[in-house]
Structure formats: C-alpha cells, structure tokens
C-alpha cells in the first residue's frame, strides 16, 4: 500500500466467528475516509473500532451490534440502521444526513452534539444510561421514545412529537422544550427540566414531587 493512502475497512478489520454473528475488530482505524467493503451488513458485531472525521455513505446495518466503538465528527450519509444496538460507544458530533435509525438501542453510550434532526427517519428509539448533552431532536416525530437514566444537558426538543415517551430519571439541565408535544410523557424522577406550560402540550404528563414545582417558574407568580 502506498504511504499515506487511506485503506479500506476490509483491509484493516479482521473478522472472527461468534455464534450467529461475524465479529469485526479494528485497532488501527483512525482518521481516514471510511469505506466499507459491503453495502449491507446483517447480524454482525463491530467492536473496538475508532473512526474520526470520516464519512460512511449508503451502508445498511441490520440487527448489528456495536460495542466499545468510537466515532467522532463523522457523517452518516443515507445510511440505514435497523434493529441495531450500540453499547459503551462514543458517537459525538455525528451528522446523520438523510439516514434512517429504526428500532435502535443505545446503552451506556456518549452521544454529544449528535444532530438527530438531520435524519430522514427516526423511530422506536431507546437511550438507556446515555450522555446526550447538546444533541438535537428538533422537528421530529418520536412518540414512545425511551430516554431513561440519561444526562440530556442542553438538548434541543423544538417542535417535536414526544407523546407517550419515557424520560424517567433523566437529567434535563438547560434542555430546551419549545412547542413540544409532551402528552402522556413520563417525567417521574427526572430532574432539572424547565418546561413552559404555555408553549408545550402537557396533557396527561406525569411528574414527581418536588421537581414538578419548577413548572411554575414561567408563570410569573409568587408562592408563599
């Protein structure tokens, strides 16, 4: 290979066998334009992959598992993730341009400044024990979203449909809820949220005491 050339992922990831899966592990992938050797991956496991400032284009992942992977400042262009799981991964400053995420679960992941608003389709999503600071979910239809035991500092929820979502035990410090449909959302044990009763739909929304008292902050009233 010529010095300085960008290798394809097929030359750097070594497959090994696992029951029901092919496991791909890469310890040398760093700062290059990522090129998958296939356009579709089914029931495969990607572990310990580090990719920075790269572009992943028109690749489909179905029932794949990602563990201990690091993808920083990457583009997912017209990709599709269906029934995949990410565990102990870091995906920060990701731009999922026209990509689809369907039935995807993130557990113990760091997703900082992940702009989900750029996706073509986002549904049946779960975030469990994740750090989602400064990510963007604006202008999306996300009923029954699961975001539990997470840190969601400064996350944008502008004009988003979150009906019947579960936000229990999540920290929403500095998060912005504006013209959001929060009907029947579960905020029990959630903390540090600031939600304007006049600009958001809160019909049937569940809260815990005493945190629910913060809903009165925007009413310009005095409680004695």
**Three-class secondary structure assignment of the chain:** CCCCCCCCHHHHCEEEEECCEEEEECCCCCCCCCCCCCCEEECEEEECCEEECCEEECCEEECCEEECCEEECCEEECCEEECCEEECCEEECCECCCCEEECCEEECCECCCCEHHHCCEEECCEEECCECCCCECCCCECCCCEEECCECCCCEEECCECCCCECCCCECCCCEEECCECCCCECCCCECCCECCCCCECCCCECCCCHHHHHHHHHCCCCC
Distance from first CA to last CA of the chain, Å, rounded? 75
Rounded average pLDDT over 51-63: 92
| 4 assigned to some structural domain | no
In the chain, the percentage of residues whose pLDDT exceeds 90 is 71
| 10 assigned to some structural domain | no
| 51 assigned to some structural domain | yes
Note the pTM of the prediction, 2 decimals.
0.83
| 56 assigned to some structural domain | yes
Highest mean predicted confidence (pLDDT) among 74-78, 164-168, 207-211: 164-168
- Cis amide bond preceding 210, omega within 30: yes
pLDDT confidence of residue 77? 94
| 130 assigned to some structural domain | yes
| 2 assigned to some structural domain | no
**Structural domain count, the chain:** 1
pLDDT in tens, 100-111: 999 999 999 999
pLDDT in tens, 182-203: 999 999 999 999 999 999 999 9
| 5 assigned to some structural domain | no
| 6 assigned to some structural domain | no
Residue 40 belongs to domain with CATH number: 2.160.20.80
pLDDT confidence of residue 211? 85
CB atoms within 10 A of CB 217: 12
| Domain span at 135 | 18-219
């Amino acid at each position: 290979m010529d010095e300085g050339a960008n290798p394809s992922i097929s030359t750097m990831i070594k497959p090994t066998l696992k029951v029901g899966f092919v496991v791909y592990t890469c310890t040398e992938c760093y700062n290059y334009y990522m090129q998958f050797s296939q356009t579709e991956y089914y029931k495969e496991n990607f572990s310990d992959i580090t990719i920075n400032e790269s572009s992943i284009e028109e690749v489909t992942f179905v029932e794949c598992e990602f563990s201990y992977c690091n993808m920083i400042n990457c583009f997912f262009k017209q990709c599709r993730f269906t029934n995949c799981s990410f565990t102990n991964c870091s995906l920060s400053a990701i731009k999922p341009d026209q990509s689809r995420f369907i039935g995807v679960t993130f557990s113990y992941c760091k997703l900082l400044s992940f702009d989900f608003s750029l996706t073509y389709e986002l549904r049946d999503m779960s975030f469990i024990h994740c750090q989602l600071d400064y990510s963007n979910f604006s202008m999306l239809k996300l009923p029954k979203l699961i975001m539990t035991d997470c840190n969601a500092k400064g996350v944008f929820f502008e004009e988003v449909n979150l009906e019947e979502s579960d936000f229990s035990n999540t920290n929403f410090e500095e998060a912005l809820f504006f013209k959001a449909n929060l009907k029947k959302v579960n905020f029990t044990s959630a903390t540090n949220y600031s939600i304007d009763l006049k600009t958001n739909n809160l019909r049937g929304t569940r809260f815990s005491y005493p945190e629910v008292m913060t809903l009165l902050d925007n009413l310009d009233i005095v409680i004695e």
